[in-house]
Amino acid sequence: MQEFYAITLVATALVLLAAFSSLIAFRFGAPLLLLFLLIGLGAGVDGLGIDFSNFSLAYVVGSIALSIILFDSGYGTSLQSFKLSAAPALTLATLGVLLTSFILGVAAHLLLGMSYMEGLLLGAILGSTDAAAVFFLLRIGGINIRDRVRSALEVESGTNDPMAIFLAIALVELISSGAGAEGFNLELVRLFVEQMGIGLAFGILGGVIIVFILRRMQVERGLAPIFMLALALMIFSFTGAVGGSGFLAVYVAGIYAGARKLPATTTISRFQDGMTWLAQIIMFLVLGLLATPSQFPSILLPAILLALFLIFVARPLAVWLCLLPFDFTQRETGFIAWVGLRGAVSILLGILPVIGNLEDGQTFFNTAFIVVMISLVVQGWTIKPVAKRLGLIVPPRIGAIDKVELDLPGSANHELLAYRVVAGSPVLRGERIPRWAMPSLVIRDGKSMRYQYAGRLRENDHVYLFIAPSYSKLLDRLFATEAPVEADDSEFFGTFAISPTTQVQSLDDAYGPLTISEGERGRNVADMINQRLGGRADYADRVRLGPIVLIVRDIDEHGHIASVGVSMEPVEPATTWPIFLNIRELAHAVRDYLRRKRGTLKSDDKVEN
């Protein structure tokens, strides 16, 4: 019994230490997931002496934690974002993983002396980007980039795990059975299609079941997130039990459930955030405990070279080839390549050769661990400066805002929002609240009053409003401070603005010849932009028309384009060799970041383009 309490005490102490480490990460910009991994490493057999070597248990714990993270990733991905980036993201998640695995496999054969099959296995282990790392750094790291680029990265990281997991498991089985390259046949292709098909079908079905149960059953508000999490884990496990990809199923179920209006949405979102944090902490701690740093020196140099090859050659080349058919600029392609972080999934897959009893199975795990550490340090620490250097940071549309979303019981057709009026917000300057919003209550100096009797709003007033679903972003601008625009961002939206009703033919006459079709000539600019983007455009979206670029400057209260910027100096599309340009760009970004850390980069320094 004392041993049980001792284990519990150590486990909770490690979780608390990992949670407290977030303060360090947010203060110094360190990759938080790297700190989780280091804490587990420091507590392991070569650190504090905790001897944890149960690879099978670690794989089970890691898989459950990953399913929770993927469900929350899907739940937080809007259906519009998924549609916007589905084609390039899914191309990266399938063909991109294959290309990266193959290119990296050749390098592993040369650097580590592995056979080609073993090198391909190591390539598959390291072939996918990590959903936990990508979602954390993009959503929590304060990086505001173009929605299509962000969505492509998030959807790719959420959907490429099934491909990498299938490849790794298949290759372990082929190598252990001695089948070798002859094992690659149509049966393997059929098995892949079957797994992905079952995963997709059960994911959609599972999402429907989650929505049906939470809407129809009178579930206690506090139990709603428990129901959702339990159902998500059931979808994951059942799909895997019948031969499908449980990871794909749980991600798809999350997307479906997140796109529907559910009761207790705020409670569910907060619970999901907490569980995702806990899953990330546990997964990285367990994988850190599993490692034995004293075994690293024998493969350290080739593993470092392999990591650098992955970061600067294999990933950029695979991304460039996959994104050639899509309308991404050279800099956007370079950024997508740079955010190919490796994380817990690669270490988790590195366990497979060990539990599959492959010869030198520990080498796969140790190599994957070292590569992940380098990826989190080199890429994870520099994502924001690289995005800034490449000119991809979207200037904020609004400034500071203080808002709380409140749940309404049942399946109400309205949302209840509470805003605190902050200094400098437009409502203090006399701008009126739209008619579709129904303000009901104002709390001023601790006293509540009806809105119609409150008179002009004052700073620090709390205003409660009923609005139709999905209209909250339109109100945010009324209750926010003015967005500060830095000098470097002044040209982000072009050199001048035009009306969205301007005819495309008029643009062609003035700046042509433009790359437009005959059908587009008779349209106005707003319709043409929406058509090219495959749906409704969003703030900061861009469309290139040969010598000019059109940028969405603003969206009105109905979601329509209100203003369009024109840039006369467009960034060239990604049609040239990607590696040299990106290395140069990234080297400048890292250099500038280190200068800022040392305090030697003056505010008026101008970085050459």
* Tens digits of residue pLDDT in 410-438: 555 677 888 888 888 888 887 888 887 88
| CB crowding 134-159: b at 16 or more within 10 Å, else e | bbbbbeebebbbbbbbbbbbbbbbbb
Inform me whether the pLDDT recorded for 486 exceeds 80: no
Amino acid at 297: P
**pLDDT given for residue 413 in this prediction:** 64
CATH number assigned to the domain covering 2-46+54-389: 1.20.1530.20
3-state percent breakdown (helix, strand, coil) of the chain, nearest 5: 60, 10, 30
**pLDDT given for residue 223 in this prediction:** 85
Determine the average pLDDT of the residues in 246-267: 88
**pLDDT given for residue 255 in this prediction:** 92
Sheet of 415-420, strand order: 403-406, 415-420, 462-467, 438-444, 447-450
How confident is the model over 185-194, as pLDDT tens digits?
A: 677 888 889 9
Highest mean pLDDT among 341-350, 396-405, 479-488: 341-350
**pLDDT given for residue 394 in this prediction:** 79
Distance of CA 56 to the CA centre of its chain: 28
**pLDDT given for residue 606 in this prediction:** 40
Q: What percent of the chain has pLDDT over 90?
A: 31
Domain topology for 403-476: Alpha-Beta Plaits (3.30.70)
CB 375 within 8 A of CB 312: no
Return mean pLDDT, the chain.
Answer: 83
**pLDDT given for residue 140 in this prediction:** 63
**pLDDT given for residue 515 in this prediction:** 83
Helices 361-378 and 97-112: crossing angle in degrees, nearest 10, is 110
Question: What is the dihedral angle through the alpha carbons of 172, 178, 179, 181, rounded to the nearest 10 degrees?
Answer: 70
**pLDDT given for residue 602 in this prediction:** 43
* Nearest CA among 397, 536, 543, 516 for reference residue 84: 536
Distance, in Å, from the CA atom of 311 to the CA atom of 341, rounded to the nearest integer, reads: 9
Of residues 469 and 308, more confidence is placed in 308
**pLDDT given for residue 479 in this prediction:** 84
pLDDT band at 329 (very low <50, low <70, confident <90, very high): confident
Determine the average pLDDT of the residues in 343-372: 92
Highest mean pLDDT among 20-24, 102-106, 414-418: 102-106
Sheet of 561-567, strand order: 496-498, 561-567, 548-555, 542-545
**pLDDT given for residue 188 in this prediction:** 81
Determine the average pLDDT of the residues in 381-401: 78
**pLDDT given for residue 608 in this prediction:** 38
**pLDDT given for residue 604 in this prediction:** 41
Distance, in Å, from the CA atom of 357 to the CA atom of 212, rounded to the nearest integer, reads: 44
pTM score, whole prediction: 0.80
Determine the average pLDDT of the residues in 362-372: 94
Inform me whether the pLDDT recorded for 546 exceeds 90: no
Range list for CATH 3.30.70.1450 in the chain? 403-476
Inform me whether the pLDDT recorded for 601 exceeds 80: no
How far apart, in Å, are the Cα atoms of 10 and each of 50, 53, 528?
9, 16, 60
Q: Lowest mean pLDDT: which of 166-180, 319-333, 408-422?
A: 408-422
Range list for CATH 3.30.465.10 in the chain? 495-567
CB 588 within 8 A of CB 386: no
**pLDDT given for residue 200 in this prediction:** 94
**pLDDT given for residue 497 in this prediction:** 85
Determine the average pLDDT of the residues in 348-361: 91
pLDDT band at 519 (very low <50, low <70, confident <90, very high): confident
**pLDDT given for residue 308 in this prediction:** 94
- Show the DSSP H helices in 310-351 as ranges: 315-323, 330-338, 344-350
**pLDDT given for residue 190 in this prediction:** 86
Of residues 468 and 145, more confidence is placed in 145
The answer as to CATH 3.30.465.10 being correct for domain 495-567 is yes
Residue 488 tokens read as 């470097």
Determine the average pLDDT of the residues in 97-111: 93
Q: Lowest mean pLDDT: which of 30-34, 290-294, 363-367?
A: 30-34
Q: Which residues, at least 6 apart from 17, have a Cβ–Cβ distance to it below 8 Å?
A: 39
**pLDDT given for residue 215 in this prediction:** 84
**pLDDT given for residue 575 in this prediction:** 46
Range list for CATH 1.20.1530.20 in the chain? 2-46+54-389
Highest mean pLDDT among 265-269, 337-341, 350-354: 350-354
pLDDT band at 15 (very low <50, low <70, confident <90, very high): confident
Determine the average pLDDT of the residues in 510-535: 83
Q: Cβ of 474: how many Cβ atoms within 10 Å?
A: 17
Q: Lowest mean pLDDT: which of 198-207, 355-364, 428-437?
A: 428-437
Of residues 161 and 481, more confidence is placed in 161
pLDDT band at 605 (very low <50, low <70, confident <90, very high): very low
